[in-house]
Chain A
Amino acid sequence: MMPRETLVNTVLALLLLAIPLVAVAIDEPFYVTLSTRIAILALAAVGLNIALGLGGLVSFGHAAFFGIGGYTAAILATHAFNAEPLFFGLEGTTSMPWIWLVAMVICGLMALFIGLISLRTSGVYFIMITLAFAQMIYYFAISWPAYGGEDGLSLSVRNTFPLLSTAKPLPFFVVCYTMLLAAMVLFSLIRGSRFGAALQTARQNETRLAAVGIVPLNIKLAAFVISAIVTGLAGALFADLNRFASPSMLSWHMSGELIVLVILGGKGRLFGPLAGAMLYVMFEYTLGGITERWQFFLGLILLGVVLFIRGGLLGLLAGKARYG
């Protein structure tokens, strides 16, 4: 018999795939966009889940990577569109794989820098330092007129992917969905690996890690960088979804939203971010249609999850996590 968690995971994965297929069949493209939004937010949260769920690193600055990913996509596309070289004669590009690569490299380097400083602290200090870095980048973005400043930066057309017409909702959804699945495979591999064992030990008992001869900082730094790279990729896709890189992608609200997704779905769980993103977007859509104050109700639900079902939605549906 299939373990309950596998069953829940399969249902969630198929559900997210089914919604846009049905939506296209009944000619309701809006639901394709909604599903794409879920897939991208889930992808960003899978990234955060590596740091937060596995490593216990409560980064309140992951919006930095999400936003950098988004701005990378928009800036590269703008330069390509206007046929202006970037710098050193480098050209922009509208090809998604190239954009992703650049976004992931930049986010990785940023995370290396931020992590080297912030990971020397822990607890509330770590939260504050990651927040401070993200806010610095946010204010930098809104005060840089060349790339839109407070208005953000729009893309004239969605970037391209070889052999797919990404301007249509469904092919773009497939791209995002595939990247989400790939990131979840990565998450699952990391969690089961030697690195994952060290990382999960860093969360539970850092002294123990040091006492077997593993330097906790190195493990946490590597996790922080991987985490940022995944979230950065999501940011690039998000800019493409909206055809717009908004400064709000960089703001602390976004960091908070990502944490909410992870907690809501179940931190450290493979499908926690997807469950969290589905629930979040569903609330945003349904409650948001009724009242502008929908986040008040989201807050109540989050309170309920934290107080009564510590394992999040996945904990509720699939039982307590076991690490073997």
Chain B
Amino acid sequence: MVELVLEIREMCKSFGALKATDGVSLDLRPSEIHALIGPNGAGKSTLMHQISGSIRQDSGTIRFLGEDITALGMPERVRLGLGRSFQISSLVPEFSVLRNVMLAIQARQGSSFRFFRPVLNDKSLTEPAMSALERVGLAKRANFLAAELSHGERRQLEIAIVLALGSKAFLFDEPMAGMGPEGSKALTAFLDGLRNEAPILLVEHDMDAVFALADRISVLVYGRIIASGKVADIRNDAEVRRAYLGEPV
């Protein structure tokens, strides 16, 4: 039995009468990409928010690297190594691209209560930040403001920040959204290699990317997981086809 990186059990969340998450159990094994798919409004993002800690679930537990993190907030979970990217890019608009990543480095070092030393020529911040930018191919844009980046570049910057955090598991919420075919292809190849660094829980609408990357797929519909398994099984699952892939059976 492999040690699970992330273990979600019986997660429930309601907004009024709407059951956004309805008894979801899910796990993430080392070095895998586990894709979470489902139609719009299925509750994928809500579930990702609960896993990352930005929304509190009504019931259910989460274990990460063997530790119960159910009661922890987002900053604590991030510090334990649960890194996330946002569906809608969430950056520091008036900071340069480099400074956006430097913030992640200083957070990782736990050094945000230093009041005097200037950050801009602090090599212990700039060098690791630059290498994270190089990995996602954004190094040449390092000195632009985050607000000046194109949509696709913002997605890349989000990934660079998560890399800089040295995360032990990645939660990616639609990283390909709005990237264009070229960008999607490049990011697919990048994520393919990234799984060896840490496993990825991936929410994605781009089915080509999902089928190319995923080791396992779980299908979420109306807050419930209706199917979970290997890629081939999900492709052939009749219920999934009806509910999601939109094909008559």
Residues of A whose CB lies within 8 Å of any CB of B are 189-190, 192-198, 200-201, 204-205, 207-216, 219, 222, 323-324
Beyond the given pairs A190-B115, A193-B118, A212-B78, 13 more chain A to chain B contacts, judged by CB atoms under 8 angstroms and listed by A's residue number, are A189-B116, A192-B118, A192-B120, A194-B112, A194-B113, A194-B114, A194-B125, A197-B102, A205-B91, A205-B93, A212-B165, A214-B107, A324-B120
A204 touching B86 in the complex, CB below 8 Å, given contacts A192-B118, A195-B115, A211-B78 = no
Residues of B whose CB lies within 8 Å of any CB of A are 52, 54, 73-76, 78-79, 84, 86, 90-96, 99, 102-104, 106-108, 111-120, 125, 161, 165
| B86 in contact with A219 (CB, 8 Å) | no
Closest beta carbon of chain B to A315's beta carbon, Å: 14
Inside 8 A of A189's CB, which chain B residues have their CB?
Answer: 115-116, 118
Complexed CA–CA distance, A172 and B207 (Å): 73
A208 touching B91 in the complex, CB below 8 Å, given contacts A194-B112, A213-B108, A214-B112 = yes
| A205 in contact with B90 (CB, 8 Å) | yes
Complexed CA–CA distance, A63 and B187 (Å): 53
Inside 8 A of A190's CB, which chain B residues have their CB?
Answer: 115-116
Complexed CA–CA distance, A222 and B113 (Å): 9
Contact partner, A213, options B78, B115, B117, B118, Cβ 8 Å:
B78
Complexed CA–CA distance, A29 and B115 (Å): 39
Inside 8 A of B90's CB, which chain A residues have their CB?
Answer: 205, 207-208, 211
The DSSP consensus for interface residues of chain A is helix
Closest beta carbon of chain B to A218's beta carbon, Å: 8
Contact partner, A193, options B74, B99, B107, B114, Cβ 8 Å:
B114
| B78 in contact with A193 (CB, 8 Å) | no
Closest beta carbon of chain B to A308's beta carbon, Å: 21
Query: Can you give 10 contacting A-B residue pairs, CB < 8 Å?
Result: A189-B118, A192-B118, A193-B114, A204-B95, A205-B92, A210-B54, A211-B90, A212-B108, A213-B79, A214-B107
Inside 8 A of B99's CB, which chain A residues have their CB?
Answer: 197, 323-324
| A195 in contact with B94 (CB, 8 Å) | no
A323 touching B96 in the complex, CB below 8 Å, given contacts A197-B119, A207-B54 = yes
| A198 in contact with B75 (CB, 8 Å) | no
| B103 in contact with A198 (CB, 8 Å) | yes
CB closest residue in chain B, given A320: B94
CB closest residue in chain A, given B77: A213
Interface centre among A193, A200, A215, A323 (most CB of B within 10 A): A193
Contact partner, A212, options B93, B94, B119, B161, Cβ 8 Å:
B161
Complexed CA–CA distance, A197 and B75 (Å): 16
Complexed CA–CA distance, A194 and B125 (Å): 10
| B112 in contact with A195 (CB, 8 Å) | yes
Closest beta carbon of chain A to B112's beta carbon, Å: 4
Inside 8 A of A209's CB, which chain B residues have their CB?
Answer: 103
Complexed CA–CA distance, A200 and B84 (Å): 21
| B92 in contact with A208 (CB, 8 Å) | yes
Inside 8 A of B76's CB, which chain A residues have their CB?
Answer: 213
Complexed CA–CA distance, A201 and B161 (Å): 14
A219 touching B115 in the complex, CB below 8 Å, given contacts A207-B54, A323-B96 = no
Closest beta carbon of chain A to B116's beta carbon, Å: 5
A194 touching B106 in the complex, CB below 8 Å, given contacts A204-B94, A205-B91 = yes
Inside 8 A of A324's CB, which chain B residues have their CB?
Answer: 95-96, 99, 120
The 7 closest A-B pairs by CB, nearest first: A213-B78, A212-B107, A192-B118, A213-B79, A198-B112, A194-B114, A213-B107
| B92 in contact with A219 (CB, 8 Å) | no
Complexed CA–CA distance, A31 and B249 (Å): 89
| A193 in contact with B116 (CB, 8 Å) | yes
Closest beta carbon of chain A to B113's beta carbon, Å: 6
| B118 in contact with A211 (CB, 8 Å) | no
Closest beta carbon of chain A to B22's beta carbon, Å: 26
Complexed CA–CA distance, A25 and B114 (Å): 44
Closest beta carbon of chain A to B147's beta carbon, Å: 10
Closest beta carbon of chain B to A314's beta carbon, Å: 16
CB closest residue in chain B, given A268: B94
